[in-house]
């Protein structure tokens, strides 16, 4: 077994999970060790509620993410989301869809193949997901949530050649499922700007991932029931120490899965968003109690993928030199 461990070390990977749980020296560009993410912020009304609740509770929210995707937001809703987040200087990350779980194929519904549901099915769906990212960006959003490695690699190439904005950030979804340092390093090399690790990784496993990649780690410190339902608030101080730079992601146990969301679920989405911010307040109180030296990023943060609001949706028919941005 030592020969294999030595091979891993020679490849720049840990030879084992780091049970000594060393402290991470990594930080966000502004020196912060942690940031706060509120997930499942489904649409402008939920975003407004989250920002209002965060202000009322004194919780600094750096990023909000959304699972239904830009696909299920109208052009005006996308613009409203971009405008509200830009004013709050908060990053928004919208799920890139559609994927196999919403397609007509049956394999993604099979009991033994649940992971297929988060992959792009066939070339046409690959095109559709990339078009969804393009449409989202045209509304001013600068963060997308990706689960498929092919989508990630191609979207990163599109960003590199100017087909997508240079400031676009790729956040991988927890549903990508990569769970070891070697695999997560592949995602980073393909263009991931942060990686959402599985919800149940131990501190030793998180330390091993941190030893392999420099990009921020995203971790649910409270996970939805369908992602394990773990409530890890007392571990937050150690998670920050070991995994920094890390996004502390406050999901919600004992809450309905509302994907795909819409106006028929707006009241529920708003209520869930407010409670997630309350959970964040609890988690940050415990972090201050048990890890008082840990510093969080403040706002504004220059490296956040804050939306750039547009004057109007782009149709694809404008000349290339047509103005895209509102002058502010």
71-93: pLDDT as tens digits = 999 999 999 999 999 999 999 99
Stretches where the chain sits below pLDDT 70 are 311-328
Q: Nearest CA to 250 among 35, 38, 33, 34?
A: 38
Q: Which pLDDT does position 2 carry in this prediction?
A: 97
Q: Are 3 and 230 in contact (CB under 8 A)?
A: no
176/147 Cα distance (integer angstroms): 4
pTM of structure: 0.92
Question: 292: which residues sit within 8 A by CB, 6+ positions away?
Answer: none
Which residues does residue 91 pair with via DSSP β-bridges, in sequence order?
A: 63
Q: Which pLDDT does position 312 carry in this prediction?
A: 60
**Token pair belonging to 106:** 């049956």
The burial of 315, by beta-carbon neighbours within 10 Å (0-12 exposed, 13-18 middle, 19 or more buried), is given as: exposed
Q: Nearest CA to 216 among 30, 55, 57, 59?
A: 30
112/130 Cα distance (integer angstroms): 28
Q: Are 146 and 152 in contact (CB under 8 A)?
A: yes
Over 248-277, what HEC string results? EEECCCCCCCCCCCCHHHHHHHHHHHHHHH
The values of phi and psi at residue 199, to 5°, are: -70, -15
95/117 Cα distance (integer angstroms): 14
The values of phi and psi at residue 139, to 5°, are: -85, -5
Alpha carbon dihedral 136, 137, 143, 144, in 10-degree steps, equals 50
């Amino acid at each position: 077994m030592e020969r294999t461990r030595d091979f891993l070390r020679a490849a720049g990977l840990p030879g084992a999970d780091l049970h000594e749980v060393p402290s991470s020296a990594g930080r966000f560009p502004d020196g912060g060790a942690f940031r706060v993410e509120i997930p499942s912020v489904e649409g402008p009304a939920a975003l407004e509620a989250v920002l209002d609740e965060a202000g009322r509770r004194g919780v600094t929210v750096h990023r909000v993410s959304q699972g239904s995707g830009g696909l299920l937001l109208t052009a005006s809703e996308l613009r409203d989301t971009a405008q509200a987040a830009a004013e709050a200087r908060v990053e928004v990350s919208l799920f890139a869809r559609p994927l196999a779980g919403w397609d007509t194929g049956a394999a993604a519904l099979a009991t033994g193949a649940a992971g297929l549901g988060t992959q792009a099915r066939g070339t046409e769906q690959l095109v559709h997901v990339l078009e969804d990212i393009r449409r989202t960006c045209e509304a001013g959003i600068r963060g997308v949530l990706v689960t498929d490695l092919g989508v990630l690699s191609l979207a990163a190439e599109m960003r590199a050649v100017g087909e997508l904005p240079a400031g676009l950030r790729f956040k991988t979804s927890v549903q990508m499922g990569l769970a070891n340092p070697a695999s997560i390093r592949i995602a980073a090399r393909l263009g991931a700007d942060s990686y959402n690790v599985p919800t149940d990784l131990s501190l030793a496993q998180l330390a091993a991932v941190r030893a392999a990649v420099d990009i921020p780690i995203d971790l649910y410190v409270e996970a939805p029931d369908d992602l394990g339902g773990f409530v890890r608030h007392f571990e937050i101080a150690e998670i920050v120490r070991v995994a920094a730079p890390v996004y502390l992601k406050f999901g919600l146990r004992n809450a309905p899965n509302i994907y795909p969301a819409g106006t028929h679920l707006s009241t529920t989405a708003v209520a869930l968003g407010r409670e997630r911010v309350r959970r964040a307040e609890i988690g940050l109180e415990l972090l201050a109690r048990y890890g008082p030296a840990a510093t969080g990023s403040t706002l504004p943060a220059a490296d956040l993928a804050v939306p750039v609001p547009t004057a109007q949706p782009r149709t694809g028919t404008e000349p290339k030199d047509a103005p895209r941005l509102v002058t502010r």
